[in-house]
Structure 1
């Protein structure tokens, strides 16, 4: 008997390969995939603004990379003793205003340069809900809010400062369509993969979470049918409809756990990555697992032989694939870490 629903995952006309730079933008699920690709030594840049959930924030960030938008100190606001940007994750916040602006602008410049050469753009949308500032926000904290006061991160500001807006299908189509046009004009060779995050936004309520995801799905499939070189990877369906069990969620019942994210990654590698790259990635994954090995007795002859065997594998891979950066692995297995 078959205890799982089968799902058809059509491979894109072109598949991902090594030496093809990949930019990933969007929700926290983006970083699960991005971190795994990074560990397998793909050339990756992920979330230059930090984690983003809604289409308005994702689209605005992409346009800012194309335009290489540079921020000023006046674009920041002081809240909870640190300088913040409404368009960036809290990892960009800090107590020194000048340093925060420099950090943001360095990330903008790096994103602009990377997007120009990228061959793949992976966009993961998490929610249709966009938070917009209201008139209750003090004047000095209104800096740099987007259209209609849209913010990418609320930075734990008072809840009365915001109104929660579920973007309509037409709004979502408009902002993403505009962003894709600008990205493609900036980098004509780029190919795009859309995914919908399987993370369940339970704080919105189960009903509104499903409405939110449904709008994202409708818009993404509209765009996939409209543009060439734009593909859909069903991360959402793989968790919600194939795994379909709370044992594949973390303790919060909202985030897919490690087995679930690995299941999704395996499907991505099988259907969206070419076969030679899959084979190389498997070898690099073994090397990464070996590097995480924690010996009980690191000075034994057995462990030293283990290190030597892994060093030899790393040296062989480096010689066979000169484009790989295995400096950290070579240093680690040679005992110089």
Structure 2
């Protein structure tokens, strides 16, 4: 008997490899993918503005990277004894406005340079809802716990989402002619919107993204949302909040990502790198023992061999660790 709906994910005709530079942007599920790829020693940059949920925030952020926009203290606002940016996650907030601007602009410059040479852009969209300031009407990607009456909440239409993403992608392909884009929809439920509106929100994202993938070259879709909601479809695969996919669900999605987005040679190399990463995390009972020194030497030689065979890998930290 089958206890799951089978899903067939067609492998990408152009797979992701270790030679690629990968920029990830979007919801918190973006960071599950980014952390996984980063730990496996892919060259990644994730969420230069911090976590973003809606398409408008993603588009505005990408445009700011292409333009290498530099912020000033006039772009920040003060709330609860800290300075914040409406376009950035609270990890960029600071009690000193000048320092906050410095950190934001450093991230902007890094994103501009990375996007210019990126081979892949992975966009994970979480919600169709957009928040706008009532005074001025500007889009807000993070409310920073400001009073609810400061904002208007708007459910973007499919047409609005398609128009925003389409325009941004055309600018992106002029800025970086060889970049390819993977879209995913976050399986995280936005229960604060209510079950009905959460489903309306996700449906609009899915429809808009598929419209673009069918229309433009170099766009791909990876079904992270469908893997959790339609294949696993069980609350035992969610965290205690019943909103976020738990570790087994996340690993399930990442296994399918590996199988469909990476070619066989890259997967084989990943397994070798995985053994080095695990070895670095090993906590010995007797660090000075001959057995442990042999263990370190063995993995140092393996890391050096891989680095020599694949000079584009970034294994310097691992090799330094094993030498010590």
- Please say if 1:228 is aligned against 2:217: yes
The TM-score, its normalising length taken from structure 1, stands at 0.93
- Which residue is 1:19 aligned to? 19
Q: Map residues 22-41 of structure 1 onto 2, 5 A cutoff.
A: 22-41=22-41
Which secondary structure does the structure 1 equivalent of 2:288 belong to? coil
> 96-105 vs 216-225, which deviates more?
96-105
- Please say if 1:57 is aligned against 2:57: yes
Residue 90 (structure 1) shift: 0.8
- Which residue is 1:273 aligned to? 262
Residue 101 (structure 1) shift: 1.0
Distance in 1 between residues matched to 2:248 and 2:308, nearest whole Å: 33
> 97-106 vs 287-296, which deviates more?
287-296
- Which residue is 2:75 aligned to? 75
Unaligned runs of 5+ in 1: 136-141, 143-147
Residue 32 (structure 1) shift: 0.5
Distance in 1 between residues matched to 2:50 and 2:211, nearest whole Å: 27
Distance in 2 between residues matched to 1:90 and 1:259, nearest whole Å: 28
Q: Map residues 172-191 of structure 1 onto 2, 5 A cutoff.
A: 172-191=161-180
- Which residue is 2:91 aligned to? 91
- Which residue is 1:293 aligned to? 282
- Equivalent in 169, 179, 201 of residue 190 of structure 2: 201
Q: Map residues 18-167 of structure 1 onto 2, 5 A cutoff.
A: 18-135=18-135, 148-167=137-156
The TM-score, its normalising length taken from structure 2, stands at 0.97
- Please say if 1:192 is aligned against 2:181: yes
Distance in 2 between residues matched to 1:217 and 1:165, nearest whole Å: 18
- Which residue is 1:145 aligned to? none
Question: In the comparison of the two structures, how many residue pairs are matched?
Answer: 324
Which secondary structure does the structure 2 equivalent of 1:109 belong to? helix
Unaligned runs of 5+ in 2: none
Tell whether the 8 Å contact from 2:18 to 2:313 is kept in structure 1 after alignment.
no
Residue 332 (structure 1) shift: 1.5
Output the aligned Cα RMSD: 1.3
Which secondary structure does the structure 1 equivalent of 2:314 belong to? coil
Residue 248 (structure 1) shift: 1.3
- Please say if 1:314 is aligned against 2:308: no
